[in-house]
Structure 1
Amino acid sequence: MPLINIIPGDKIPVAPMNVRLPAWRVPGWLLVFWWLARGLFRLIVLAVRYWWLSLPAGLALWVRAEFGGLVLAGVVTTVAAGCLGWWRWHPVSWLRFGWYPLVARIRALVVYRPRWASVMATCGLATVFGGDRYVPRLLRVRCDWWGDELTVRMLPGQIPDDWGQAAERLAYAFRQHTGQARSTGRPDRVVVRFMRRDPLAGVVAPLPVADTPDLGGLPLGVREDGEPYRLRLAGSHVLIAGATGAGKGSVLWSLIRSLAGGVRSGLVEVWAFDPKGGMELAAGVPLFARFAYDDPDGMAGVLDEAVKRMRLRASRLRGVTRQHVPTVEEPLLVLVIDELAALTAYITDRKVRDRIKESLGLLLSQGRAVGVHVIAALQDPRKDVLPFRDLFPTRIGLRLTEPEQVDMVLGDAARDRGALCDRIPETSPGVGFVVLDGVREPVRVRFAYLTDDDIRSLGRTYRHLDHTANEKEATA
């Protein structure tokens, strides 16, 4: 073996490595067989996945081959006549179990699945890791008259708020009007709701009045899915915020109307406060046990009286029950305040303003358990105007002028979850979003509209009577 003289500092010669992969010669017939097998497998998968298309098509081909075209035409005519008869006989069940499931499958196949991966990528909901792309999986599409509801399996690391922030972009990407995301019972799934038609476009007529109000679900209007909206007043206070002309009166009068049956029977007392000189609430004076307006000192006195009544009731119920049940002797006390900011921020007399703030703070923090509830409306949601905003478990945001005001009224990240109060048009008064403590997603609602004649008729029919005085006279 020849010797190589290596001089210090010189590089040792290294032979180049062979990095070429070995070439395998595959017969052509094997490639053709592999392509055919893979295509057949994919065809079977698609036939099973879209059985609602493949099964009727297979049956139609079989009938055509076995019995001829006339028999196939007769079968198709019979099925169409059966569907038509079902629709005419019971349209609700036909739409629910027949038409809408078919529309949902067609829209999933034509509208959503072809563009799903690209839309997820452009909206920031897909990701790339290790050179592979990961896309959320579309599990199911449901349709109704108003829109589409998509159930999606989220990627690891995603939360429903991520989809809430992207819901508007998703709606525009799929050519829909609006979008909203909400969580489900399973932590890995989210439901995205797209609206094709707006069920809240029309004015909602006054709803029927129950003889005994259901405090666990007072009917006030219509939800975005077309179902009646019911507000839980038991154990809650209600804050209503909206710009001028947003429809705060619709919310107030819808609440008062839903309580009118209890007002007539003596189970409910409504104390009304109208700092604007009585312009909003004066039409319903017969419904009110107390009506304070125009005089700040007088309104502060009525609030002080409500605090005393609350404390006396608490002393009677202490050790007996933890939750008040309305009776004629101990009715539910509802304080309705229009333009709350006029009492908490715009009164020039500092002593009177401090008295009102102190009374409201006590009523909001201690009144729910003893059957004293505050329903307040205002235009300016700033913290210095309403320092105890967090004491309202139920908050209603109507049309607002700025995006920042949405989170001021409804809570942090409420706008990202779909409460677009700043985008409600001026032509839709009474439309708003409702947020409850402990519930992440806001509910879009249109509240019933009462005309002046409706309010006066309500006052004549369900006027407040002093049932306590009548009982005392009967006892004497």
Structure 2
Amino acid sequence: MDARIGISGEKYGGRGLALRPESVKVPLWIVVAGLLGRWLTRSITSIIRRPGIWLPAVLLVIPIRATGPLGLFLPLFALGSTLAGWAKLAPESFRRVVAWPVRSTIRRTFVYRRMWQPAMVTCGLDARVVDQQYLPQLGPVRSTGNVDRVQVRMLPGQILEDYAEQAERLAMTLDAVECRVRTGQKHGQVELWFLVNDPLREMVPTFDADESPDLEALPVALREDAKTYHLRLRGNHVLVVGATGAGKGSVLWSLVWSLQGALRAGSAHLWVLDPKGGMEFAAGAPLFERYCYGDQDAEHPLEVRSYELAFARFLEAAVSVMRDRQSRLRGVTRLHEPTTDDPLIVVFVDELASLTAYVNDRDAKARIKAALSLLLSQGRAVGVVVVAALQDPRKDVLPFRDLFPTRIALRLTEPEQVDMTLGDGARRRGALCDRISEGLPGIGYVVLDGVAEPVRVRFPFISDDDIRLLAGPPNLRLIDGGDVA
């Protein structure tokens, strides 16, 4: 091996370590043949994967060769009619097979390839060694009507955070509304999601409720790529954080709406704790198995301690169910399977801070904290899950927020609150909750445990009329905190 080694030190004249590995000389024709072969392979693969591009060309060439140019009109008319009928009768498959692949090719060629070098240079993501400039490699582009998903091969030494820090500049340079940075499919890759059109600016309609809903994939929101977002409820706890008017009620009622089939069948029960005196959930009370709204004791109407203890008793009842199921399911299964005889219990808590930070009675506060800690740490496996909402995500208000595997952040008032809610680095990866407009309630970002990338969604607005229609005539079985027959 041809190598020169110099070791730093006085004995060797103070020279630093210099290593030149052995070089292999390859004939020029082999290099050219290899490059042509790689280009040809990629081209053939790309053509095969996009039938919406090459199939029309084949259908046009055949009649032209058979009948001449005059035979061009009939296949053009047939092709246009076929595509129009396809788009009308099966729009989803048409978009997936034809429209989106064509759009992907156009966007990659005329937007990203054309602007790639200036975008990388102005954002500081290029590298220069001596006089040679190196750029991150632009990979495939998968485009929908709203989002372009751009695969990028990073340069050696770059990490995902380098691109996350430049997300706003990338969006501005490439004429997108927003840019979100996500982990690529392969090592050394990063995926840039460019939001081109924002479907979440329009009000989202309610989703069709299934009579037998999948408790691991409930349709509750619309994603920014115009696809339905499905939320897992079985074996999960959900935390919803948002400022006043951000749309926390939309999140909670969207869950109730998607659960209505299971509620009617009896495979899911709602236990609702509404510390705001029933202002949020009273209209849907007939749907609930248990409902605690903190009504004051008739004999002591001014005694705050009476309804704070009611909150504690309500949560302790859920702990009792959890303990009973642990005894029955121990050694049988590691995850509870909901049935009509043993339903999934969903504990809804609106304004969680009223139970953790604003409780005056010490005994009630200690009991509430102990019950919540047990439910959040042990309840998922036995089918007792918690869905909680609050406005202030600070640690002293919610000391156990890390026990919620799914966290949803709506509009927040301060940038620091984003990472408090969703985890460190969430805002840098695109969860700009503090920039959500007050005129767009229900928009937020969802983060799952173990998945760093936030997903931007919008929840539908469930009106009071929708709630009354959903609840039906009053038929309450039990209300804690107030006697209702």
TM-score range (shorter-chain normalised) is 0.7 to 0.9
| Deviates most, 301-310 or 240-249 | 301-310
- Measure how far apart 1:292 and its partner are: 0.8
TM-superposition CA deviations, 1:17-54 (whole Å, max 9, x none): xxxxxxxxxxxxxxxxxxxxx9xx99xx89x97999xx
**Contact 1:146 1:198 survives alignment (8 Å):** yes
- Aligned partner of 1:229 in structure 2 is 229
Counterparts of residues 60-459 of structure 1 (less than 5 Å): 75=72, 77=73, 80-91=76-87, 92=91, 93-294=93-294, 295-459=307-471
Alpha-carbon distance in structure 1 between the residues aligned to 2:425 and 2:267: 38
- String of CA shifts for 1:310-361, please: whole Å, max 9, x gaps: 1122112112222111122322111000000011001122221121111100
Q: Is the 8 A contact 1:343 1:356 kept in 2?
A: yes
- Give distance in 2, aligned partners of 1:334 and 1:127: 53
Q: Which AA in structure 2 matches 1:81?
A: F
Separation of aligned partners in 2, 1:98 and 1:267: 42
> Pairwise mapping of residues 49-64 of structure 1 onto structure 2 (< 5 A)?
none
| CA pair 405-335 structure 1, distance change in 2 beyond 3 A | same
Contact 2:286 2:473 survives alignment (8 Å):
no
Aligned partner of residue 457 in structure 1, secondary structure: helix
Quote how far apart the aligned CAs of 1:212 are. 2.3
Unaligned segments of structure 1, at least 5 residues: 1-37, 467-476
| 2:12 paired residue number | none
| Aligned-pair CA distance for 1:375 | 0.3
Cα drift, residue 167 of structure 1: 2.1
Deviations 1:81-127 (A, max 9, x none): 34422321101344433343333323322222222112112112111
How big is the alpha-carbon RMSD for the aligned residues of Structure 1 and Structure 2? 2.8
- Would the alpha carbon gap of residues 196 and 78 (structure 1) be closer, same or farther in structure 2, given more than 3 Å must change? farther
* Distance in 2 (alpha carbons) for counterparts of 1:149 and 1:462: 49
The SS at the match of 1:84 is: helix
Deviations 1:208-262 (A, max 9, x none): 2222231110110211111111101111100000001110001101111222222
Aligned partners of 1:73 and 1:133: how far apart in 2? 52
**Percent of aligned positions with the same letter in both sequences?**
51
In 1, Cα distance between equivalents of 2:105 and 2:254: 39
Change (3 A) 1:326 1:109: closer
**Against the structure 1 CA distance between its residues 80 and 164, is the aligned structure 2 distance closer, same or farther, given a 3 Å change threshold?**
farther
TM-score (normalizing by structure 1): 0.80
Give the Cα separation in 2 of the matches to 1:116 and 1:255.
42
Offset, 1:147: 3.1
CA distance in 1, matches of 2:436, 2:238: 21
Tell me how far apart the structure 2 counterparts of residues 274 and 460 of structure 1 sit (CA, whole Å). Answer: 20
Letter of the 1:102 partner, please give it: V
CA distance in 2, matches of 1:164, 1:130: 27
Q: Distance in 1 between matches of 2:142 and 2:382?
A: 44
Number of positions where the alignment pairs a residue of Structure 1 with one of Structure 2:
413
Higher-Rg structure is 1
- Structure 2 segments unaligned to the other structure (5+ residues): 1-31, 48-52, 295-306, 479-485
2:313 and 2:130 map into 1 onto residues whose CA distance is: 70
Distance 1:234 1:409 in 2: 22
Please state how far the C-alpha of 1:289 moved relative to its aligned partner. 1.1
- Structure 2 partner of 1:34: none
| One-letter amino acid of the structure 2 residue matched with residue 357 of structure 1 | K
Cα shift at 1:160: 2.6
- Secondary structure of 1:186's aligned partner: coil
Would the aligned equivalents of 1:264 and 1:462 in 2 still touch at CA under 8 Å?
Answer: no
